[in-house]
Amino acid sequence: MSEQNKSLDPQESQNKPKKKKRRMPLGKKIAIFFVYFLLIAGLIVGGGGLYVASVMIKDAPEISLSDFEGLESSQVYDKDGNLITELGAYLRENITYDDMPASLVDAFVAIEDSRFFEHPGFDVPRFAKAALENLKSKSFGQGGSTFTMQLVKNTYFQVDDLENSTIAEKSVDRKVQEIWTALKLETLIDKKQIFQLYLNKLNFGGNIRGVQKAAQYYFGKNANDLSLSESALLAGIINRPNAYNPYENLDYATNRRNTVLDMMVYHGYISELEAELAKSIRVEDLLVGEDYTISESGGPYQAYVDAVIEEVKQITGKDPALTPMKVYTNMDRTVQEQIDAIQNGENIEYPDELMQIAIVSMDNQTGEIRGLGGGRNYSGARLLNRAISQFKQPGSAVKPFLSYALAFEHLGWATDHVITDRPIVYRGTKKVINNFDGQYRGDVTLQQAVGQSLNTPAIQTLQEVIDTIGRSKVIDYLQSLGFSRVDNDHFDTGYAIGGSSFEASATEMASAHAAMVNGGRYVEPHTVSRIEFSDGSEDYVADPAGKPVISEEAAYMASTLMQYCVEGPYFNYMQVLKRSYPVYAKTGTTDWGKDGLRFGIPEGAAKDKWMIASTSQTTNVVWVGYDKGVKDEKTYFDNEKSRKNIPGQICELLLDANYDEKNPPKALVQPEGVENITHILGTFPYAAVDGVDPNLSTTGLIKKEFNNLVSPWGNSEQKLESTVSGYIDEWGGLTINWGGYRGDLPENQKEISLSQGDIYVYAVGQKLFDWNWILGNPYYYAKVYLNGNLYHEVTSDQPTYYDWVEGGGSVKVCGYYVYSTGLHSEEQCVTVR
């Protein structure tokens, strides 16, 4: 198809054979130009017409040829180059005169302007006849306009806009200006160019503009392939576009087409036989259906299209509905159609109508968004697109890439590192941190911490990372992962569990998780791959290069924790994701707290759930929840709703939609910088297993630079985490315990209670290792302070000690223990009264 600016070059237009002579020498046009004008002026006002006409044309518009070119609509294509939709108030694609078949030209000329190729832009006999009809009817009902005059009117004297359309003023002044401008335009460009501009600007009903889009809308073909019957139908429609629309008024449209064919016979363009054959074709058999053309509002793939529009605006600063362009996207129809089906409830049974969703499916290596879901019942443009514009607390879904990836990177931890899940408070507060079930488990490996989504290990880990590298570096890391709402003013350790002020969109969560399975490289998620501008301005091509934000070793190790979430022995809703290929997943949940009480929601009930499921190729993010609380509508997850595992069901469908039998996802390749480490479980620094019961050993993954084992017999430079607790009974008896020891507990359990000022939380959990099992009992030391003053010092060869404190006031105990090898714990202080 030729370009529009090419079509305005008279030297490149080609003559079409016609049955009538249609060209007039330019000199002759100019010669009769003034004669016609004088005649018009005389008819209007008699002897004083010249003066009055000159006053009228004084306000005539200045001609610019670019004004006559209809604004084309923007086209949006999927990843395979197939058209998704078109954007713009109107759908239009300009074509040249040479793209128009002879039957189309003949049909329009015959019914609308039979002397078009002979008159100079104003047809005196036609105008005079119309003027007489208007005098008889005392109205302006008959216009006598030529194609050129109509083109001028549609360009300068009325507005064609879906919301703010105007009709040209019916006045003598406006008509004189229209005629004057039409005559002038005919001296600047030739007839073919005028005809081309006219047909590209015409209204063919609804938001269809121009003959090319009309051919596609009604017949599913390009204009140069139109038949005689189809050409006649289009020529008939423009007189009353909505009344003669065959989709709305088939009989009217058929009669109008037949009238056009009769006029073509009358003017000698076709024979009677050709007309009868064309009339014999039923109009309904020519039509392809109204669904052929997709408008901006409410079409298929709408959530994806809305995301494309927003992205184009950010990239170019231009609105594709106002600036013609071709936008090539990354949309995979198979994936997007699955998402649309999920949104519409075709393959998911939702428990109520208020439950909402957001979905993103993204290529890890390129950041290309293959599909997205903006929410259930997503129809009509400009709705809240939950995939890109909704920000929610991400919950535990952040744990792998935040706390644990940074621990592998900066703390030198292995994947089977042991941390104690115990009651703690946020540093500097009295707020006790709970797990989802209110239980504490004691010593756990990182696999268990992530597989069971435990909160206190994640917070303790992030705190240790902050103490090691500083708060600002953690913030920088989160921002480098694309989290737009993370800043210095609001960050705290609550981010470790996706709480506090941490908010993220589904696309941000997708890119963060994708970075873990993409070797620590962040790629900005994007729907647009390329933009081509029809005005010749600079095109745009997306850059999928990305940037490293964490080492590939730490990213790989974090990914193995997520693989264990799927393949491990824990009931965490992710077992449904098991496939013949590795899946790396994590869930997250946030609750209403006390905010839901006013809506009849139980305190602490879950309000939304996340599930992120990645392969080595794609990352799929699903959010399911409620936009807001609604009184007595159960806008929360009870046990029944949770058991449905709707996030898991959706992730299953997304994995299947992205699965390629010819190229199935492979397991991530272990980087050379990651090594196996075998050590005594529960030790850190990790102790070698030489001469130690092998049942105490474990093997995990660690960054090569941290793969250093220490002697299992300990040394004076090592320091162990101390666990000191105590309590005073009502008679003043003080009990001190070291190392979590309790005489009434089995050897593999320990007390992990929290005792801090007036805060006391009793808890007992598992013990995975005790140095006593190798080195024997240490000596235990403590200092007891009464009202801030040293009361007495304690030395004991047993892990529990009984004392007596006389008098009232505060009591604080600071204790530690030392083995014969020099291995010792750090001193820990607790307030027991």
* Percentage above 70 pLDDT, the chain: 87
Q: Is the pLDDT of residue 371 over 50?
A: yes
Same domain, 187 and 236: no
Higher-pLDDT residue of 756 and 58 is 756
Residue 636 lies in a domain: no
Q: Is the pLDDT of residue 292 over 60?
A: no
Per-residue pLDDT at 719 = 75
* 3-class SS of residue 541: strand
Dist CA 427 CA 625 (whole Å):
31
Mean pLDDT of the chain: 87
Dist CA 295 CA 381 (whole Å):
10
Q: Compute how many other C-beta atoms are within 10 angstroms of the C-beta atom of residue 742.
A: 17
Residue 360 lies in a domain: no
Range of the domain at 41: 22-58+114-191
Per-residue pLDDT at 315 = 94
Residue 90 lies in a domain: no
For residue 156 the two structure tokens come to: 């300068």
- Of 741, 681, 687, which Cα lies nearest the Cα of 710? 687
Same domain, 54 and 176: yes
Per-residue pLDDT at 2 = 37
Q: Is the pLDDT of residue 135 over 60?
A: no
Last residue of a domain, one of 266, 287, 308: 287
Same domain, 130 and 257: no
Same domain, 162 and 223: no
Whole-model pTM: value is: 0.76
Residue 436 lies in a domain: no
Same domain, 745 and 813: yes
For residue 88 the two structure tokens come to: 């713009």
Same domain, 149 and 28: yes
Same domain, 738 and 809: yes
Per-residue pLDDT at 151 = 87
Query: Phi-psi category of 438—alpha, beta or left, where left has phi over 0 and alpha has psi -120 to 50?
Result: left
Per-residue pLDDT at 78 = 96
Average pLDDT over residues 137-152: 70
Task: Note whether 291 and 263 are within 8 A (CB).
Answer: no
Task: Note whether 610 and 647 are within 8 A (CB).
Answer: yes
Residue 641 lies in a domain: no
Q: How confident is the model at residue 7 (pLDDT cuts 50, 70, 90)?
A: very low
Packed helices 506-517 and 552-567: angle between N→C axes, nearest 10 degrees: 110
CATH value at residue 753: 2.60.40.10
DSSP string covering 328-347: EE---HHHHHHHHHHHTTSS
Strands 697-703 and 764-766: unpaired
Dist CA 514 CA 518 (whole Å):
6
Task: Note whether 182 and 121 are within 8 A (CB).
Answer: yes
Q: Is the pLDDT of residue 168 over 80?
A: no
Average pLDDT over residues 553-561: 98
Last residue of a domain, one of 706, 730, 757: 706
The widest CA-to-CA distance across the chain, in whole angstroms, is 130
Per-residue pLDDT at 103 = 96
Residue 253 lies in a domain: yes
Question: How many separate domains does the chain show?
Answer: 4
Task: Note whether 501 and 443 are within 8 A (CB).
Answer: no
Residue 724 lies in a domain: yes
Same domain, 54 and 154: yes
Please state which of the ranges 45-59, 76-90, 451-465, 715-729 shows the lowest mean pLDDT. 45-59
Q: How confident is the model at residue 62 (pLDDT cuts 50, 70, 90)?
A: confident
Same domain, 792 and 738: yes
Per-residue model confidence as pLDDT tens digits over 393-444: 999 999 999 999 999 999 999 999 999 999 999 988 889 999 988 899 999 9
Q: How confident is the model at residue 54 (pLDDT cuts 50, 70, 90)?
A: low
Q: How confident is the model at residue 688 (pLDDT cuts 50, 70, 90)?
A: very high
Q: How confident is the model at residue 160 (pLDDT cuts 50, 70, 90)?
A: low
Average pLDDT over residues 236-245: 89
Specify the residue for token string 């393959």.
347
Per-residue model confidence as pLDDT tens digits over 766-781: 999 988 898 888 999 9
Task: Note whether 262 and 228 are within 8 A (CB).
Answer: no
Same domain, 209 and 152: no
Q: How confident is the model at residue 716 (pLDDT cuts 50, 70, 90)?
A: low
Same domain, 127 and 268: no
Same domain, 155 and 54: yes
Q: How confident is the model at residue 741 (pLDDT cuts 50, 70, 90)?
A: confident
Q: How confident is the model at residue 55 (pLDDT cuts 50, 70, 90)?
A: low
CATH value at residue 262: 1.10.3810.10
Dist CA 744 CA 239 (whole Å):
97
Average pLDDT over residues 95-111: 94
Dist CA 201 CA 68 (whole Å):
8
Q: Is the pLDDT of residue 26 over 50?
A: no
User: Who's near 613: CB < 8 A, 6+ residues apart?
Assistant: 574, 577, 583, 584, 585, 619, 620, 622, 651, 654, 655
Q: How confident is the model at residue 37 (pLDDT cuts 50, 70, 90)?
A: low
Dist CA 690 CA 299 (whole Å):
68
Per-residue pLDDT at 293 = 43
Task: Note whether 603 and 593 are within 8 A (CB).
Answer: yes
Residue 665 lies in a domain: no
The Cα-based distances of 388 to 1, 311, 366 in angstroms read 36, 10, 18
Last residue of a domain, one of 287, 309, 327: 287
Dist CA 316 CA 308 (whole Å):
12
Rg of the chain's alpha carbons, rounded to an integer?
39
